[in-house]
Amino acid sequence: MPTPSLRAQTMRVYDGLLRRVMCFLVSPIGRVYLNIHGARVGRGLRLQSLPFCRCYGTGHIDIGDNVTILNTLYQNAAGIMHKTVLIAGDGALLRIGNDVGISGATLDARNSISIGDRCMLGANCGLFSTDYHPLHPADRHDRTARAVQTAPVTLENDVWIGANALILKGVTVGASSIVGAGSVVTKSVPPGVIVAGNPARIVKRVPESRMLFSNRHAGAASTVQDSQIVHATGRS
């Protein structure tokens, strides 16, 4: 009877082979599926199953090179609850940069959404450039579409969005910054910091020595002061 270590090693090899086979088979199909639904796809797309993709009216989706999109719990044990959702509304642009990893995220561009290079989007996170409904009850009752507020969302290079975090309309997350799991980001985040909470607040800086060279200038230019950092006690 195989030992536990041998069984574990066998399962790792099996899982690795299965992922490679699925990626080899599904990625070309996924490229065609995305093209049919209005997305331009760069080189090196990696898929093991299909996301949900829609472009409405003159909306457009632009996906860069070497992008990985995960869509099931089997592909990411962090807890993917649904397939990745890529939506570009009428007249909107959803742009995804190079070397980006996405795990069951919802990217709904009713205004524009721009994701920089080397960003990581954790399981079930959401980027929303719209409120979906008007703020005033009378407008909601009358279904007044023009009263719905929208604003662009931007992730600069090397941003990491934790699982189940929400990035709301009008937010820019600066280069190399991290959004903690479950956070709700309602205001723009400067480069090179870690934010967490609801609403998200700065809790720590990212060490400048660990940033990629292209982002160090942006991090050094950040105006974050010690008084803006929320410590473990909850006081700023």
Annotated active-site positions, please? 136
* Tokens, residue 196: 């967490």
Nearest Cα neighbor of 68 from 19, 108, 111, 35 is 19
Q: What is the dihedral of CA 97, 98, 100, 104, to 10 degrees?
A: 60
DSSP states of the chain: ---HHHHHHHHHHHHHHHHHHHHHHHHHHHHHHHHHTTEEE-TT-EESS--EEEE-TT-EEEE-SS-EEE-SGGG-TTT--S--EEEE-TT-EEEE-TT-EEES-EEEESS-EEE-TT-EE-TT-EEESB-SS-SSHHHHHHT-GGG--B--EEE-TT-EE-TT-EE-TT-EE-TT-EE-TT-EE-S-B-TTEEEETTTTEEEEEPPGGGS-HHHHHHHHT----GGGS--TTS--
